[in-house]
Every structure is written in structure tokens, then in C-alpha cells.
Amino acid sequence: MTHFKNTGQGKQHVAFAAPYPGKIIPVDLAKIGGELLCQKDAFLCAARGVRVSIAFTRRLGTGFFGGEGFILQKLSGDGLAFIHVGGTVIKKEMRGEMLRVDTGCLAAFSTGIDYSIERAGGLKSMFFGGEGLFLATLRGQGTVYLQSLPFSRLADRVLQHAPAAGGSSKGEGSVLGGLGRMLDGS
């Protein structure tokens, strides 16, 4: 982990950027109970007083079926931490209710939240519903951050539209596609 320290006189600046499109969220750990569990690679940077470690989920099923789950980043302490989430973020304050979300859309949650993975409906909806096979079920009191575009989903979309490996790019509007058609005589 890289540490930055101001050794000069007065205020200095350092900038951090997100690794892919999304939002950077400041989280004051002192205001949410001193701990935040987040998806792996969500941590961007933090002020002194924040420790970063890994946390394993308690349930074996979560690890096998949780998508972004099993190994989570644990941010603890009393400082300001910055996490990155994909797409748009929704911050939800839970007060004892239950919430079910796609496993990839769960970005982070405070320690008052119980996290488990449950099957999404029956076999018919699992295979023909167009959604994932499992949902994250959240219960308890605390803060939950949801993301609209997990990195895995963004990567899948990019790969769907990329030319095949080793193949030529002949898509409409591509310069290489137009050049290929000219050379082919089509």
C-alpha cells in the first residue's frame, strides 16, 4: 500500500482517480460505527486512522454463489475513507427491514447488516428469468451502498461488442471494416 506524507510547509494536494466509470464515495467511518465491509477492489484511498484488511464471509454458500462476495475488504477505524463503485450509487439506511439485491450490485455495507446469499426464486425463474441465480439478502440496521454497474457486468458488455480474438473488425462504422470491404471488393 502506498502512503503519502506532506513533508513541506502548508497544505499540499494529491489526487486519485477511479479505475473505471462510476462514483467515488467518501465514508466517514466514525459516523457508521467504525467499520465498513465492501466488495474487493472498492477501496480507493483513506486518511490516517483507517486500516484496510480482508474479511471472509461467514457462510460457505456466500463464497461459492455470491459473485462479488466471499472475500470482502474491511475498512476500520475513525477516519475518512473513499470507495469506488460502478455506475450510479444508492445509499440506503436500513432500520431493521430486509433487502434483496443482485449480488454484483452490493458495493458496501456497515457492520450492523447481516449478509447472506439466497436462491432467486424457483428453477424456472433461475434459468429463464434473465437475472442471476442468487440474490444477496441484507437484514439489520446500518448503511448499505448499492451500485448500478458492477465491474464484471461492464467488462461483459465491453467484451460482447469487441471483435473476436484474432478476428478482423468489420463492424458498421469501423474504419477497419470499411477498409476490409474495399479490399474485398464488397
181 occurs within a structural domain: no
82 occurs within a structural domain: yes
Domain CATH code at residue 116: 3.60.160.10
121 occurs within a structural domain: yes
11 occurs within a structural domain: no
Cα 115 to Cα 112: distance, rounded to the nearest angstrom:
10
Between 54 and 186, the more confident residue is: 54
13 occurs within a structural domain: no
17 occurs within a structural domain: no
Cα 116 to Cα 43: distance, rounded to the nearest angstrom:
22
Over the stretch 18-72, which tens digit does the pLDDT of each residue have?
877 889 999 999 999 999 999 888 999 999 889 999 887 655 454 444 444 457 8
Query: Structural domain of residue 69, as residue ranges?
Result: 22-161
H or E element, residue 110: strand 106-110
Over the stretch 124-171, which tens digit does the pLDDT of each residue have?
555 555 555 678 899 999 999 999 877 666 666 677 778 875 544 454
Q: What is the domain count for the chain?
A: 1
172 occurs within a structural domain: no
pTM over the 0.75 mark: no
177 occurs within a structural domain: no
Nearest to 72 by CA among 46, 106, 101, 48: 106
